[in-house]
């Protein structure tokens, strides 16, 4: 009977997200934000570019641009130029446009900044108003994103409470979660899975590899299937993946929340 007493002691551990903000806190590395795009000199901007192992930072003269879709959150740029870039604690990093992830400045708050409460979720798109079934395809990831996706089914996140269910058959799936950069051996399987899904269908690219190709830099999975939502991060948190799914089905609007 230990589990009974433990359950009574711990109480309800399931998050209330998205009805209520439930972020990891100010120390969480949700994304790298550009706090000051104007570097002190072209030499400083060039040093930031060289420090980035995935090529996520590039410069225009003394100004820097950061591709959050290629960023692996290593923190080298933050250590090198803490007055120019910093970590943003927001878990809501998903967006519907790949171009939006290339920023001279970030819509996410920098570390230590207060976060505004999330707006309450709206109505889902009509085809997904009751439930959405998700098929996951690993198109060549390193396994990090898979662990975060698996966490969505545990009692803390419990995506079933939101009518989100994982399915083994693409013929029963409404939404395709893709991880990995799309290695040659998985391209055909990825496309066949997408083609087997009934209309209307949605695609969410999860993780830096799926968004941009990561260290390979060859491009993301949108080279092979149309992507509706991009979830950057290496890996993104379960909250970020859930935010991407809710954004895709219309339960949250882009820019909602803090």
> SS3 for 182?
coil
Residues in the chain: 258
Torsion sign over Cα 81, 44, 213, 252: positive
Residue whose C-alpha is closest to residue 68's, from 107, 38, 36, 42: 107
Q: What is the DSSP string of 85-130?
A: EEEE--S---BS-GGGGEESS-SSPPTT---PPPPPP-PPPGGGSS
Provide the whole-model pTM: 0.87
Among 112, 46, 54, 105, which residue's Cα sits nearest to residue 80? 46
Q: Alpha-carbon distance 54 to 73, whole Å?
A: 10
Return the CATH fold of 126-248: Rossmann fold (3.40.50)
Q: What is the pLDDT of residues 157-203, one digit of tens each?
A: 999 999 999 999 999 999 999 999 999 999 999 999 999 999 999 99
What does the alpha-carbon distance between residue 21 and residue 86 come to, in Å, rounded to a whole number? 22
Question: From CA 214, how far away is CA 180, in angstroms rounded?
Answer: 9
Q: What span, in angstroms and rounded, lies between the C-alpha atoms of 80 and 78?
A: 5
The CATH label, of 3.10.20.340, 3.30.70.3270, 3.40.50.620, 3.40.470.10, for the domain at 31-103 is 3.30.70.3270
159: its two tokens = 């995506």
The pLDDT assigned to 63 comes to: 86
CATH 3.30.70.3270 maps onto the chain at 31-103
CATH 3.40.50.12280 range(s) for the chain read: 126-248
Digit-by-digit pLDDT tens for the chain (258 residues) are: 565 565 556 566 799 999 888 878 788 889 999 988 887 788 888 999 999 999 999 988 878 999 999 999 999 999 999 988 999 999 999 999 999 999 884 444 444 333 333 334 555 676 777 899 999 999 999 899 999 999 999 999 999 999 999 999 999 999 999 999 999 999 999 999 999 999 999 999 999 999 999 888 788 999 999 999 999 999 999 999 999 999 999 988 876 543
């Amino acid at each position: 009977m230990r589990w009974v007493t433990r359950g009574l002691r711990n109480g309800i551990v399931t998050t209330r997200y998205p009805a209520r903000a439930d972020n990891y806190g100010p120390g969480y590395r949700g994304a790298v934000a550009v706090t000051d795009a104007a570097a002190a000199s072209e030499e400083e901007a060039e040093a930031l570019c060289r420090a980035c192992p995935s090529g996520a930072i590039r410069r225009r003269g003394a100004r820097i641009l950061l591709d959050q879709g290629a960023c692996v959150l290593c923190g080298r740029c933050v250590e090198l130029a803490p007055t120019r870039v910093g970590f943003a604690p927001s878990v809501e990093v998903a967006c519907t446009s790949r171009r939006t992830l290339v920023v001279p400045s970030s819509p996410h708050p920098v570390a230590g900044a207060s976060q505004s409460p999330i707006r309450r979720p709206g109505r889902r798109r009509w085809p997904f108003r009751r439930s959405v079934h998700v098929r996951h395809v690993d198109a060549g990831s390193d396994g990090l994103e898979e662990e975060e996706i698996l966490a969505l089914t545990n009692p803390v996140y419990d995506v079933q409470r939101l009518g989100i269910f994982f399915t083994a058959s693409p013929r029963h799936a409404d939404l395709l979660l893709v991880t990995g950069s799309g290695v040659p051996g998985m391209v055909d399987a990825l496309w066949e899975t997408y083609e087997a899904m009934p209309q209307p269908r949605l695609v969410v690219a999860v993780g830096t590899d799926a968004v941009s190709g990561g260290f390979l830099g060859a491009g993301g999975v949108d080279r092979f299937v149309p992507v509706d939502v991009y979830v950057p991060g290496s890996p993104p948190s379960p909250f970020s993946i859930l935010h991407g799914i809710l954004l895709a089905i219309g339960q949250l609007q882009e820019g909602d929340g803090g």
